[in-house]
Structure 1
Amino acid sequence: MPHVTVVDHPLVQHKLTLLRDKSRSTAGFRRLIKEVTLLLGYEVTRDLPLTTRRIETPLAEMEAPALKGKKLVFASVLRAGEGMIEGLIELVPSARIAHIGLYRHPQTLEPVQYYFKAPDDIADRPVIVVDPMLATGNSVAHAIDLLKAKGATQLRLLCLLAAPEGIAALDRRHPDVPIVTAAIDSHLNDHGYIVPGLGDAGDRMFGTK
């Protein structure tokens, strides 16, 4: 899977284990989501374009590296994507945020859209789609459909966990979108949940179950 990057850094893997533990409190789960996402953020932003600008250090003038072009966009797939935004904003405080409201129909497992708001000039910005779980791939693929329809072309996906079925589905619909994740798990169960996974990320994050 050349378009999938699994971040196997020891800290990422250790914190992911803590996240998976069903005894983790809501507060602990939220804190770990932020920490893992911040660490993954370094990898997903690794190839952002650079330019240089003239600055003066306490000792001399120099041409120093700086991000090139317009500020990037983090596109949060609601609601679970919101839990990852805090860590990313800590890493890139000037980033713009897009919101894509989708829920998964319990019978069909297909995404149902209820909200979409993104910067008008998103076509000129790198976009990182953020969703903790790449399970069936339907919701993320639909979110990317919406972003591309608005003009986005520089897209990548950041998730905590991915299932092989979700990777294959996204590759069929959006083979141009690279994926950065902390792990690829075994499979999906009959309800479309990742196994072994970590349960419903939104429910655990917001204490709704």
Structure 2
Amino acid sequence: MASVTVINHPLVQHKLTIMRDRHTSTAGFRQLLREIATLLCYEVTRDLEMTTTTIETPLAEMKAPTLAGKKLVFASVLRAGNGLLEGMLDLVPAARVAHVGLYRDPKTLQAVEYYFKAPDDLDERLTIVVDPMLATANSAIAAVDRLQERGAKDIRFVCLLAAPEGIDKFHGTHPDVPIFTASVDKYLNDKGYIVPGLGDAGDRMYGTK
């Protein structure tokens, strides 16, 4: 699919299989999500701009590669996004963090915002939106809309699972925002859940229903 990168690394796919299993514990699910997030982070940051700096090793002076420009922003779609956020911060601990609080109305499936906090200079930074599930895409679209209102221009979306319906709807509204995911599953059921999926990511992370 255009603008969709499926990260099919064997470690990602193996860990995802364990997460899908209904018998995986809350602690196990949470740890695996954090581990997969670190692996996904490698792919979504693969083309970051680089520059060089002069350093001294114990043996010699050299020009060495380093990241250029301002630090990244990870934008977590609460609450489940925090599971991916923690793993990405393990890899990029200096990144700035935005939080977009959204919940899905159980009747309309529309996203309802209850919280938003982000750095002021989003227009100068790459913003990576993280949410485990791209299902109806309503929350993903609302999050990107809100970040763009605050000035974000360079945005990428990272999820664990995506539904074809969600991808189509998301790119119908934000065709310029690439999606990075570990799997594109079969379809959405009538309750807006991804099938075969892994259930509700937030509930499985936190042991709630």
TM-score between the two structures when normalised by the length of structure 2: 0.99
> Which residue matches 1:71?
71
Amino acid at match of 2:200: D
Superposition pairs of residues 24-63 of structure 1, within 5 angstroms: 24-63=24-63
Secondary structure of the corresponding residue to residue 5 of structure 1 = strand
What is the root-mean-square deviation in Å for CA atoms of aligned residues? 0.6
Q: Which residue identity does 1:102 align to in structure 2?
A: L
The one-letter amino acid paired with 1:194 is I
Partner of 1:136: 136
Counterpart CA distance in 1 for 2:156 and 2:171 is 12
Matched residue SS, 1:108: coil
The 3-state SS of whatever aligns with 1:40 is: helix
**1:163 counterpart residue number:** 163
Counterparts of 2:3 and 2:50, CA distance in 1? 22
Classify the secondary structure of the residue corresponding to 2:97: strand
Distance 1:45 1:141 in 2: 21
1:110-147 CA deviation, whole Å, 9 max, x = no partner? 10000000001111110000000000111001100000
**1:118-197 alignment runs, 5 A limit:** 118-197=118-197
Following superposition, the deviation at residue 189 of structure 1 comes to 0.1
Q: Which residue of 2 aligns with 1:103?
A: 103
Quick one: which amino acid aligns to residue 163 of structure 1?
A: A
Tell me how far apart the structure 2 counterparts of residues 53 and 154 of structure 1 sit (CA, whole Å): 25
Q: Secondary structure at the match of 1:55?
A: strand
Output one character per residue of 1:26-84: Cα deviation in whole Å (capped at 9) or x when no partner: 00000000011111110011111111111111121111111111100000000000111
- Matching residue's letter, 1:79: R
Structure 1 residue ranges without an equivalent (≥5): none
The corresponding residue for 2:22 is: 22
Cα distance in 2 between the residues matched to 1:60 and 1:148: 45
Once the two structures are TM-superposed, the CA of residue 2 in structure 1 deviates from its matched residue by: 2.4
Q: CA deviation at 1:151?
A: 0.5
- In 2, Cα distance between equivalents of 1:145 and 1:139: 10
Show CA shifts across 1:129-182 (max 9, x none): 000000011100110000001000110001000000010011111001001100
User: Match of 1:117?
Assistant: 117
Cα distance in 2, alignment partners of residues 51 and 152 from structure 1:
23
Gaps of 5+ in 2: none
1:93 aligns with 2:93: yes
